[in-house]
Amino acid sequence: LEAEVSSVDSCPREHGCRWRVATTAGTNGDFDVVLLTLPVPQMLALHGEALHSAIDEVEGLREGLCKVQYSSRFCLALFYHPADAAAVTLPGGAGLAYISNDSPFCYLALDNIRRGIDTSEGFSVMVHTTRQFGASNLEQTEEAMLPVLQQHFSKLMPHWPPPCHAFCHKWRYSQVTDPVCKEVNSNDGSVSLRGGSLVLSGDAFTSSNVDGCLTAAASAAAAVLLCCRAGNHFKYCAPFTKRFSLAGKTSASNMTSF
């Protein structure tokens, strides 16, 4: 749909598909199978009587989903002129550093070095805050945190020149700290509802690292395939590539856009 999903509900019977997905832009799409991989609190905040009654059909699932916890982080993005490349460096020419002193930051990356990009048109540096800093400042806005983080950063790297541009980004749902518990995580990485026509997955069902994302993606893909093979889905909608609603963008969701 390439839009923000606002609701997942049942589709009127005469339309053939099982699910009607609505977006905040006011558009609708009808689908045989829906795979949701957005952060669990955002999943639970979606509208749709059928979505919520499907969740409530599995004993303990809503309670399990409500217990999922995430850490929160701010990222400070700094942009530099090409002329500053010689001054903006890390010891040994490293592309990243983990920060373990009293700073609110825990991670710093020189994007050009990490990605092997030359600095002739400028370059950027990304700095992530610690979980503790994210938790203490969760309700602060990005605008309010920008000068605070810039001030901390100038103390961390006093010899670096000031950037020509900077912005702050907040991840309210950054990495999963308490994933969906085993008791309700029925596919070990996804949960199939309504005969598998509604699949819930994403890193909340595993862990927020590469292994966790691959496991969630494989589990979600297997759940969708099982549903396709078991039932008589897809006899109504065409073409094939339009039969999936993907509310999510990265690893887990990408695996299912076959």
Site residues for ligand FAD per CB under 6 A: 4-5, 37-39, 42, 73, 75, 128, 171, 174-175, 202-203, 208-210, 213, 216, 247-253
Minimum distance from residue 246 beta carbon to ligand FAD (Å)? 8
Residues 115, 116, 120, 121, Cα dihedral to 10°: -20
49 is written with which tokens?
């009587």
Is 42 exposed, middle or buried, given 0-12, 13-18 or 19+ CB atoms closer than 10 A? middle
Which is nearer to ligand FAD, 137 or 251 (by Cβ)? 251
Which is nearer to ligand FAD, 130 or 251 (by Cβ)? 251
95 is written with which tokens?
């592309």
Minimum distance from residue 106 beta carbon to ligand FAD (Å)? 10
Closest C-alpha to 21, from 253, 242, 257:
242
b (16+ CB within 10 A) / e for 169-205: ebbebbebeebbeeebbbbebbbbbbebbbbbbbbbb
Classified as helix, coil or strand, 169 is: strand
Minimum distance from residue 37 beta carbon to ligand FAD (Å)? 5
Which is nearer to ligand FAD, 44 or 85 (by Cβ)? 44
Minimum distance from residue 48 beta carbon to ligand FAD (Å)? 12
Which is nearer to ligand FAD, 76 or 84 (by Cβ)? 76
Minimum distance from residue 159 beta carbon to ligand FAD (Å)? 26
22's enclosing H/E stretch is strand 19-23
Which is nearer to ligand FAD, 83 or 181 (by Cβ)? 181
